[in-house]
């Protein structure tokens, strides 16, 4: 496998229309989860990726398992939990365009994930470990698993990529800040949004956030700026990459698509700036449709999108 990742996936109940959730009665059942979104995005781009998790032994867990397998993601490390359910969450599409989320995931199968479930000893040959700041917020055993996985990956010479993915509904800012800083210090690449950067470093400017995270130990930092693009910093180079302009439908999943674009660039040996451009293109495509990953491209579509957008800029 090129990439190993693990975390919780849930059934997403996606409202058929916008408006307050108490007045919405029809939902479409989908699959959601930051790490599985990244896995699907990578698989569609032709990379080999393994997603590890615990799912409830229920129809929702089975649906997620089959959905990911159908997308070409390796799910051989997934464990079905006989006693705990698959997590669930509802989206609310607010009239003014923002998206609200309501979780039903406390005590879920994935929250019982342990270090032993990851089988880190089988990762030899993999290039990248991708972890998010959602997993350490789920439970003590999940938090331990993240730190153990990062240590194992480092020992095996893998590149550790960390997306802080702060979820205020799962834990408080103070605790999150401390844990995320510890993970960032051990990561090779950190991919925060500006808000997460502020939380983790206290700095507000992208360049200052990147500098602070690099001072902690991260080698590359890419600060996501939404439609504006992203700011990147490494020991050799720093700069801004312009984003792509699209009609936004649903912003959820954009960060995961961005991460996948960046990982894909790394795996293909692109420069940091080129990888950031690919990441921005993936993020832009993700927001053009509803669902976390449904709108994500295959490689040909992605290349067409990037070159089409550059054509337009030149005209």
Q: Which residues bind ligand KDG (CB under 6 A)?
A: 32-34, 37, 134, 167, 252-253, 255-256, 292
The catalytic residue among 250, 256, 268, 298 is: 256
| Minimum gap (Å) between residue 255 Cβ and ligand KDG | 6
| Minimum gap (Å) between residue 296 Cβ and ligand KDG | 12
The token pair at 41 is: 């995005």
| Minimum gap (Å) between residue 237 Cβ and ligand KDG | 28
Q: Which is nearer to ligand KDG, 74 or 256 (by Cβ)?
A: 256
| Minimum gap (Å) between residue 32 Cβ and ligand KDG | 3
Tell me the DSSP string of 145-176.
HHHHHHHHHHHTTPEEEEE----TTTS-HHHH
What are the beta bridge partners of residue 104? Answer: 88
Q: Measured in Å, how far apart are the chain's first and last C-alpha atoms?
A: 41
| Minimum gap (Å) between residue 53 Cβ and ligand KDG | 11
What are the beta bridge partners of residue 163? Answer: 132
Check if 74 is active-site: no
Q: Which is nearer to ligand KDG, 130 or 214 (by Cβ)?
A: 130
Could you give the 3-state DSSP secondary structure of residue 98? coil
| Minimum gap (Å) between residue 311 Cβ and ligand KDG | 30
Q: Which is nearer to ligand KDG, 109 or 233 (by Cβ)?
A: 109
* 27-32 vs 10-15, strand pairing mode: antiparallel
Nearest to 68, CA basis, from 96, 41, 105, 95: 41
Q: Which is nearer to ligand KDG, 175 or 300 (by Cβ)?
A: 175
Give one word for 291, left, alpha or beta, with left for phi > 0 and alpha for psi -120 to 50.
left
Q: Which is nearer to ligand KDG, 34 or 281 (by Cβ)?
A: 34
Q: What is the Cα–Cα distance from 240 to 9, expressed in whole angstroms?
A: 32
Burial per residue of 110-141, b for 16 or more beta-carbon CB atoms within 10 angstroms, e otherwise = bbbbebebbebeebeebbbbbbbbbbbbbbee
Q: What is the Cα–Cα distance from 118 to 77, expressed in whole angstroms?
A: 7
Nearest to 113, CA basis, from 130, 138, 90: 138
Q: Scan for tokens 């994935």, then name that residue.
A: 110
Q: Which is nearer to ligand KDG, 166 or 305 (by Cβ)?
A: 166
| Minimum gap (Å) between residue 315 Cβ and ligand KDG | 34
Which residue's CB atom is positioned nearest to ligand KDG? 32
Q: Which is nearer to ligand KDG, 81 or 309 (by Cβ)?
A: 81
* 159-163 vs 54-56, strand pairing mode: unpaired
Within the chain, residue ranges assigned H as helices are 34-44, 59-70, 115-118, 140-155, 173-186, 194-201, 206-216, 254-267, 272-286, 299-314
Give the catalytic positions in this structure: 256
């Amino acid at each position: 496998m090129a990439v190993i990742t693990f975390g919780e996936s849930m059934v997403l109940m996606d409202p058929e229309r916008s408006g307050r959730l108490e007045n919405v009665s029809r939902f479409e059942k989908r699959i959601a989860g930051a790490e599985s979104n990244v896995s699907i995005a990578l698989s569609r781009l032709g990379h080999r990726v393994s997603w590890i998790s615990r799912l409830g032994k229920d129809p929702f867990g089975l649906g997620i398992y089959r959905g990911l397998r159908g997308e070409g993601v390796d799910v051989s490390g997934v464990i079905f939990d006989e006693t705990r359910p698959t997590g669930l969450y509802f989206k609310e599409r607010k009239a003014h365009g923002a998206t609200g989320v309501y979780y039903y995931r406390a005590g879920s199968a994935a929250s019982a994930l342990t270090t032993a479930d990851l089988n880190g000893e089988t990762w030899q040959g993999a290039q990248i470990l991708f972890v998010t700041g959602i997993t350490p917020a789920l439970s003590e055993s999940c938090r331990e698993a993240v730190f153990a996985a990062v240590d194992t990956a480092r020992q095996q010479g893998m590149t550790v990529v960390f997306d802080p993915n702060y979820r205020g509904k799962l834990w408080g800012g103070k605790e999150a800040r401390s844990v995320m800083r510890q993970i960032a210090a051990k990561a090779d690449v950190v991919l925060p949004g500006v808000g997460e950067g502020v939380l983790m470093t206290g700095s507000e400017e992208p360049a200052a956030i990147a500098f602070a995270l690099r001072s902690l130990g991260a080698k590359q930092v890419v600060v996501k700026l939404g439609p504006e693009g992203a700011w990147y910093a490494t020991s050799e180079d720093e700069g801004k990459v312009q984003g792509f302009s699209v009609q936004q439908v649903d912003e959820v999943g954009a960060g995961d698509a961005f991460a996948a674009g960046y990982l894909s660039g790394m795996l293909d040996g692109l420069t940091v700036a080129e990888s950031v451009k690919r990441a921005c293109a993936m993020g832009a495509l993700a927001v053009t449709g509803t669902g976390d990953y449904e709108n994500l491209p295959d490689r040909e579509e992605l290349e067409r999108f990037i070159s089409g957008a550059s054509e337009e800029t030149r005209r």
